[in-house]
Each structure stands twice: as C-alpha cells, then as structure tokens.
Amino acid sequence: MFLTILGVLAIFLLLAFFRATLTSWLIALMVIVPVIAIRASISETALQIVYIALFLFIVFFGIPVLRRAVISAPILKFFRKVLPQISSTEQEAIDAGTVWWDGELFSGHPNWDKLLAYPKCGLSADEQSFLDNEVEQLCAMLDDWDITHTRADLPPEVWQFIRDKGFFGMIIPKQYGGLEFSAQAHSAVVTKVASRSGTAAVTVMVPNSLGPAELLLHYGTTEQKDRYLERLAKGKEVPCFALTGPFAGSDAGAIPDYGVVGYGDFNGQQNILGVRVTWEKRYITLAPAATLLGLAFKLYDPEHLLGGEVGRGITLALIPTDTPGVQIGRRHFPLNSAFLNGPTQGDAVFIPMEYIIGGATRIGQGWRMLMECLAAGRSISLPASSAGAMKLAARTSGAYGRVRKQFKVSIGKFEGVEEPLARIGAHTYMVDSARRLTALAIDLHEKPSVISAIIKYHSTERGRIVINDAMDVHGGKGICLGPDNYLGRFYEQTPVGITVEGANILTRTLMIFGQGAIRSHPYVLKEIAATLDQNHKRALINFDTALFEHISFALCNASRSFIYGCLGGRAISVPHGVETRRYYQQLTRYSAAFAFSADIAMAVLGGTLKRREKISARLGDVLSQMYLCSATLKRFEDDGRPAADLPLLDWSMQDSLYKIQDAFAGVIQNFPNPLMRGLLSVMIFPAGKNLMPPSDHTGHLVAALLMEPGEARDRLCAGIYIPNGEQDAVGALEAALLSTIACEPVHALVEAARKAKKVKALQELERIAEARDAGVITTEQALQLEHDYALRRKVIMVDDFDPAALRANRV
C-alpha cells in the first residue's frame, strides 16, 4: 500500500511537472482512484461511494457548463468581494507598458533560447560617430569642479554646444530636425557624459526622458508637433516637466494642482474657451531655465462647458513660460549638484485649450500617458547615468589600488581592499549588462514597466554600493574635494538618483512585485479583468478559463520547484556552455519556485499582500535578481564568451543567486501562515539551502582584473570618457598605472640594492639618483623612475585652498 501511495504521488508530480491539461488529470483520477480503493481492500459499499464521488467529481469538473455554474461562479462571486480596491491611478499604471522578459521569469520555465536570440546590442555608424566626436568634444569641455563649485551651472559655451549639436533632440525624429537615435545610442551618450559630469548628464538626459518631447511624439496633435518638436530638437526651447509637488511625491496621483474650464482673454483674443490652472510644483529639473513647461494637473468642468462629468481627471498641458502668471527661476540645490532644478508656481493662469497635450480628446488621460512614457525614460536615463559613474569608479579604483602603495605593497593587493574592488567590478558588470538589455527592449518597441522599475532601483542602489566602495579604496584622496577629485561629487549626488523617478524604498516594496504580480503573471490580470467585467456571462467564461489554467500553472510550478530543488537544478535542459550551464539551471529552478511562491502569496494573503510590503519586497528581490542574472548571461554570450571576463560573470552570478536564496528564506521565515510557511520551505528548499556567496578566490580574480590593463578591464569600462594627457586627474591616473607596471622591475633593482646597502638614501628621488650613480640602473631607467614618481605624486596628492577662496563660494 505504501508503494502504491508513493507511485500515485510520483504520477501526480509528473502530471504537474509536464503541466497536464484538466482532461489528463481527470483521466488519471479515473484510473488511480479505483486502484487505490481496490488495493485498500475496502468494502463494496465504500467502493460504490468512491465511484459515485469520482463520477460526480469528473462530471462537475469535466463538463464546462456544470463546472462554471457549480465551481467557477461561486469563486468569481467570492473574488469580487475580496478583491482589493484598485485606484484609477494604480489601474492605469498596471495597464501601461508591456510584458517582456519579466513574463518569462514569471512563467516558471524561462525560454533561454529566446533571450539569446534577441539581437546583440550595437550602434549605427551615425550613432557611433556622434559618440566618438560630438560627445567626446562635449566631455573635453567639461570641468566638473568649475561647474559645481564655481559656477553652479554649465558654462555658456557648453549650453550652446549642447543646443547646437542636437543633444536635446536625441529621441526626436529626423523629420523634425532631431537625431532619431536608438535607445541604445541614447543610453550610451548619457553613460559617457555621466562619467565626466553628473550635471551635464542630467542636463542632456532630461529633455530626452519623460517630458514634453516624448509626450508630444506619442500624444501631441499635428499642430503641436509642428510647432514645438523642431524647436526642441534645435535647443531653441528648453523643456521641463512638472509633476511632483509638496503634497504629492511618490503618491503623484494625489496632486492638488487643478485647472478649471472657463472663458477668458488670451493674447488679444477675448472670451475664448480655456483653463485657469493653479499649481505649486518642486524638484523640477531644468525649470529655472525652461522656456516650455509641461504640467500635470486635475481638470474640473463645473459648468459642463465640455460636457460630461465635473471631474475630468489628470490632464497634461504644455505652457510657454512667458505666459502671464507662470513663475519660474528660483533654484533648489540638490547635494552640491549644479544641474538646474527648482520650483514653479502659478495661480489661476489662463491657458487656451490648444495647450492641452493631445487636445481635448486627451483630457483626463494624463496619468496613463505619463505611465506609458515613464517606462521608456526610466529604462534609460538613471541606469545610464549610474553605469557611467560606476564604470569611472571601477577604472579609477583599480588603477589607484595598483598605483597607491603602503608597506611597499600596492593597496589593491591587500585582501581587505580586494573585497570592495571585487564588489565594484562585479556590480558594474551586472548593472551595465542590465542597462544594455533594457535599452535593447526599448528598441524592440517594448515598454517594460516592471523591468524599468527593476533597473532603476538596482542601478542606483548598486551605484551607491560601488561609489561607497570606491571612496573606501581611495581613502583621503576621495574625501578632499577639489579639481583633482573625480569621485567626490558622485558620492554626494548618489542619493539624487535613488530619490527621483520613484523613490527606491517604494519602488522595491510596492512597485516591482506589486505591479509584476499582476502585470507579468500569465493569468492574474485575466482573472482580475473577468472579475471587473459587468457582462456576467462573458466574465464567467473568461474567469473559468483563466482560473483552471492558473491552477494547472500553479501545480506545474509546485512540482517543478520541488523536483528541481531536490536535484539542485541539475538535469534541466539549458543552453550549451560549461561556464554558464549551472547558472541557467539554477535560474530555471528559482523561476519555478518564484512562480509557485507568488501564487501562494496571492492566494493566501489576498488583498492584505498589498500591505505586506516586506514580503512583497523580498519577492520583488527574487524577480529583480533573476532579471539581472538574465542580462548578465546575455551579455556574456553576446561578447563572445570571453574567458577573461569569467571572474566578473562568476562573482556577479553567484552573488545574485545567493541573494535569491536569501530572499526566499526571508519570505518563508516571515510568512504569516504557519502551514504555508512549512509548505513553501519544503517545495522551495527540499534539499536545504546550499548556495554560497562568491569565494575569496573569485573576488581576488576580479580585483586583479581591475588593476591590470587589458581587454577585460577595457570591456568593463567601455564607453566612458578617458582624458588624454597627464594634466587631468583621470588622465594622470591612467598614465600612472601604465608607468607603475612598467617600472616595477626597475624598482625591484633599486630595492635589492637598498637591501644590499649599495643605496642608502632615505628619499625616493635621492635613492634613484644614487642607484643611477652606482650603476644599479641606467640613466634612462632613472629618468623613467623619476617620471613615475612625479605621476604617482600627482595621483595621490589632494587639493588645498586659500581659506578666503573657499568662503567666497559658500552658499
């Protein structure tokens, strides 16, 4: 009997594993139940009861009409009662965008061949030329210390160059005078500029992100496009977009700013139909210099001049800033960054109806318009700016770790310094991989709303880790601000990226899994749509179909999670490759576990899951790490599987997989239902938690890679600005690294002579001269060491100032 039960369980697991249809389950039950009953030697009466119960079960579940009436209808009724209230803004956020690779991760069995079949990232000839010429020229013009400390603004010539060369028009089509760049090119431009100046990067990226140009492209009337797009592309208009206010930050749907439809006078025209808008906004980038203000407000029509309801919803308008009543000009000062950012206000400012973006037909659609555009902008701007800063930190930290010596040893060779160097290199590799893949998604005409939240959160959070680690590696060099400090301003300004475009705390706890569970899940959105459908017949049919497909989906992933967990992911068919095979297998295993745990969380916690932010955050962490791992594997394949990059791949993948395991453990530990806690533990970790973080040896290899010039280091830091010459701090550091490596054998000769007491001088330059005079080294080698000393001294020195000069620049 025991073996019979084991056999039945094995059959059930296999049926679930291969995602059997409802018909297959019923046929299996028809065979299995009688066998068990007979093997159990039950009485004839009991056997008859079993057959009757089985017959009724098969009838009710196997005949769609009966199943809907007896099973699905009551469940639908229950769902309608317990379904948490979804606000209009939440619904529009869920509806906005598209499902892309996140849908595969939610499937429980990602199609890795599909991921690898996506095109490789790359730029057109025109885009590469712009990056190599105009962007290079712009970076050479930028002195970030002068920008942030002296001017608190970009120099006039830089503003003019940005306008003249079309930096404001990267997303605008050529027919309107724009550059019409791909998302990958847009991302590459921001990355390179960000590696030189955060202020310049923000100034370039904001007009090409969520704002007037993108909104006009998608929703503007023909007249609005013809009027503004060319002027925006040529820099004749400086745009900004105002959404956030004092009483509506992350809860942007609660904006108190309003407009009232009415008649008024405008530009010499009397009694024309328009809107009187009142607003108070803050944190608006480029507002102090803007000539064109994009504005979000709630529209009301109390006199029914437009017909319909009084409250018309969030509406967007485009207002020239010279319109009477518009107030701009004052500035915020975000953490010593000099990008223009400030408040704007208006009190009953009258604008004609033609200022509404998209015209009257777009009234009340503002939130949807913003959400649909946000995915594209958030997928590019902050990930690119974070990647630029991280790449600079990686390149300079590796070089500084090799050049700077203590106890006659390069500091980067100390194990304590290897740890942060490893994090710097691997996090940079993974974030840049995700940046590339996400930009590719935009070029494939996706609007990945969930993925955009993932990449925004993790690029800025990992950017914070990298810049903190870089500061630790640089020590005193990093904390003394001045013209030769290439990290200090990035360190100061890191919280800006973490705060904007969806504060990271709320992005992690509410958005990634909160939206993903509904938007990316293959059945939940269908079930919700059926629940909200007022046509009862259609709703019941659609709900029944989605529900039983969902049940089959959940059983399949439960089975896969358990079996894959028992096997540690082994025996899963994945793309060929010795180096990456186990990573694909582990990700497939965790995808099944994630899909199963997401279903359990939604089924058991229901509407309360929305308030269980910590559990939601941990499930979001699992989804995020799987996406980052997918991007990293894709990058490794696209780059030709270079062996030199394996330390970066191994450290980043092992770190993320360990974090997935840890996030699951947190979900299980804190799940409020004890029974489900036990079930999740058994189904996800049937063989226990056996993944480990990256080893010290792997970290050592990553650190060594950062400190050694070569193809791997160049690939990791590709696309940033590296100044020519030794006068610039970064250029001097690059030269010092090469010099340090070249001079190490010569220094060894001098050190050997010192130990043999052939050289006795205490100062380095004097030792070099003494070694030369003693014939230990040649005159040419002495000159080489003297130049090396000068380079190293320039690199390790920090800036100092006359006190009066510092006081003159205090706010």
Strand partners, 293: 240, 319
Structure tokens at 389: 């800063």
Long-range contacts made by residues 137-140, C-beta under 8 angstroms, separation at least 24? 137/161, 138/162, 138/165, 138/167, 138/193, 138/200, 139/192, 139/193, 139/195, 139/196, 139/197, 139/721, 140/721, 140/723
Give the integer Cα–Cα distance in Å for 759 and 768: 9
- Please name the amino acid found at residue 658: Y
**Exposure pattern of 672-696 as b/e (b: 16+ CB <10 Å)?**
eeeebbebbbebbbeeeeeeeebee
Q: Are strands 405-406 and 341-352 parallel, antiparallel or unpaired?
A: unpaired
Run of H or E residues at 12:
helix 2-17
Which residues fall within 8 angstroms of residue 183, CB to CB, at 6 or more apart?
A: 376, 379, 380, 439, 440, 442, 443
Q: Are 305 and 363 in contact (CB under 8 A)?
A: no
Run of H or E residues at 341:
strand 341-352
Is 501 an annotated catalytic residue? yes
Give the integer Cα–Cα distance in Å for 108 and 128: 39
621-to-466, 508, 650, 677 alpha-carbon distances in Å: 19, 8, 20, 19
- Please name the amino acid found at residue 625: Q
- Please name the amino acid found at residue 261: V
Give me the catalytic one of 90, 280, 461, 501: 501
Q: Are 121 and 638 in contact (CB under 8 A)?
A: yes
CB atoms within 10 A of CB 742: 11
Coil, strand or helix at 269: strand
CB atoms within 10 A of CB 29: 16
Angle among Cα 368, 372, 377 to the nearest 5 degrees reads 135
Q: Which residues are catalytic?
A: 501
